[in-house]
């Protein structure tokens, strides 16, 4: 841009100089027609000035186009800067998201590890509980079997005692029956009529002795 401005400024100065010279030369031609070389150069000078003016117009148009492009470039640069800022913000968000995801993964990993440890501990505790429970069941079964054995022994002893009592009761019943029979016989003897003689009295006494001796 600086080079173009300097070039345009230079061309303007040259054109002004040419116009000034051309004006002076025109006056000389008008008032001093005695210089044929100057008159012959005037058309060339006019053509050169016209070409320079055209070039100047093109340069001005190019400068305007360049300024337009420069403004568009600045606008694009501003938009690009905004996009870069948005990209930086997005990058920061993505990095934050990645960080949170890494922490979440690490947390899940730790939770899984803790869960495995807890499951292992729970399994060990349940195994210990089962061992204690099984041991308790075996111990209770042993105690129950011992108790049943004692009760069976007591039952057998009681059964034996009952048998002995039954036999004793049977003997007692037999002896009672025998005593009742002898008592009945004794009553019969006493109920028999006797004569008031010594021989009759002796006979009764002997029979009573016989009954008593059997007892």
Give burial (CB, 10 Å; 0-12/13-18/19+) of 56: middle
pLDDT over 90 for what percent of the chain? 12
Backbone angles phi, psi at 18, to 5 degrees: -65, -45
Q: How far is Cα 44 from Cα 207, in angstroms, rounded to an integer?
A: 208
Residue pLDDT, tens place only, 102-149 = 999 999 999 998 888 888 888 898 898 988 988 888 899 999 999 999
- Residues 6 or more apart whose CB falls under 8 angstroms from that of 22 comprise 42, 45, 46, 49
Query: 96 pLDDT exceeds 60?
Result: yes
Reading the block at residue 180, the tokens are: 């009742």
Query: 203 pLDDT exceeds 90?
Result: no
Reading the block at residue 199, the tokens are: 């021989």
Q: 4 near 66, Cβ under 8 Å?
A: yes
pLDDT band at residue 29 using 50, 70 and 90 as cut-offs:
very low
Query: 31 pLDDT exceeds 50?
Result: no
Backbone angles phi, psi at 34, to 5 degrees: -95, 10
Q: What is the CA radius of gyration of the chain?
A: 77
DSSP 1: -
Q: 189 near 215, Cβ under 8 Å?
A: no
């Amino acid at each position: 841009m600086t080079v173009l401005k300097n070039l345009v400024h230079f061309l303007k100065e040259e054109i002004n100089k040419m116009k000034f010279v051309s004006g002076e030369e025109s006056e000389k031609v008008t008032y001093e027609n005695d210089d044929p070389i100057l008159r012959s150069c005037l058309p060339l000078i006019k053509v050169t000035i016209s070409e320079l003016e055209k070039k100047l117009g093109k340069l001005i148009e190019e400068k305007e186009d360049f300024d337009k492009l420069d403004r568009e470039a600045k606008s694009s640069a501003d938009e690009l800067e905004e996009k870069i800022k948005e990209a930086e913000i997005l990058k920061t968000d993505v990095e934050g998201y990645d960080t949170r995801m890494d922490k979440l993964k690490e947390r899940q990993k730790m939770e899984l590890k803790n869960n495995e440890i807890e499951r292992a501990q729970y399994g060990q505790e349940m195994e210990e509980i089962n061992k204690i429970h099984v041991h308790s069941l075996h111990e209770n079964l042993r105690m129950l079997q011992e108790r049943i054995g004692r009760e069976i022994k007591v039952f057998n002893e009681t059964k034996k005692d009952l048998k002995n009592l039954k036999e004793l009761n049977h003997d007692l019943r037999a002896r009672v029956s025998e005593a009742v029979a002898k008592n009945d016989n004794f009553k019969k003897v006493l109920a028999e009529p006797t004569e008031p003689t010594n021989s009759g009295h002796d006979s009764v006494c002997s029979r009573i002795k016989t009954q008593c001796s059997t007892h």
